Amino acid sequence: MADFIERQIRFPSAGRPAVMLEGNLVQPSVQRPENGYPVAVLCHPQPASSSMDDPLLRQLANALATAGVIVLRFNFRGVGASEGEQTDGRLEPLDVAGAIEAARSQTDANPEKICLIGHAFGAYVALAYAAHDPRVKTVVAISPPVFRLTPELGRFERPRLFLTGEYDEVSPRHKLEPWIAALPGARNLRVISGARHLMRGYEAVASSVVVQYIHRWAETPGV
């Protein structure tokens, strides 16, 4: 028997006019912490070729929920049954804002423990959004495309975990490391041996690294 309850939801993006987005909400069935369950919002890779059913995000959602985290993965605008049109990152942060509101409003959610986890394009959007929303207490950025990285992206003091694949052709370690080193605050990089950009075949390994990090973060008061 699974240690979580899964259901489909719909919710509005932020901004006007809002668009309706589809998501998959996974709620733990393990014992509720005193202050409620931590919340994780998952952002998928490039909308033109991916969705919330990205294999790594599915693995992460189940593993995090089993570990006691409320998880919402969703489709950006113009993907699947989500309304609107894709904008290559211009309006997608409004989708993240809507997803955070939907997730943190769930019964038993701890609104003081919100994390964003993004994969590829989703990592870029998560970093861009988090800079403007202090309610996001930590970000996990998996294989952020280096062509989207700027000196301003990710420049906030809250902790960040970065992952990339050993053979990642879009987020190569030798280009990612100096950018991360220039960021302020707590940040760490983990390299998944053997993996390429989308972590195909390495979902379990990458997921384990992220779940361990989120577990430590969730257990640390005031972070």
Q: Is 3.20.20.70 the CATH number for 4-219?
A: no
What does the pLDDT look like over 44-80, one tens digit per residue? 999 999 999 999 999 999 999 999 999 999 999 999 9
What does the pLDDT look like over 145-167, one tens digit per residue? 999 999 999 999 999 999 999 99
Contacts 24+ apart (CB under 8 A), 9-17: 9/72, 9/102, 11/74, 11/98, 11/99, 11/101, 11/102, 12/98, 13/77, 13/84, 13/91, 13/94, 13/95, 13/97, 13/98, 14/94, 14/95, 14/97, 14/98, 14/101, 15/91, 15/94, 15/97
List the chain domain ranges: 4-219
pTM of the model: 0.96
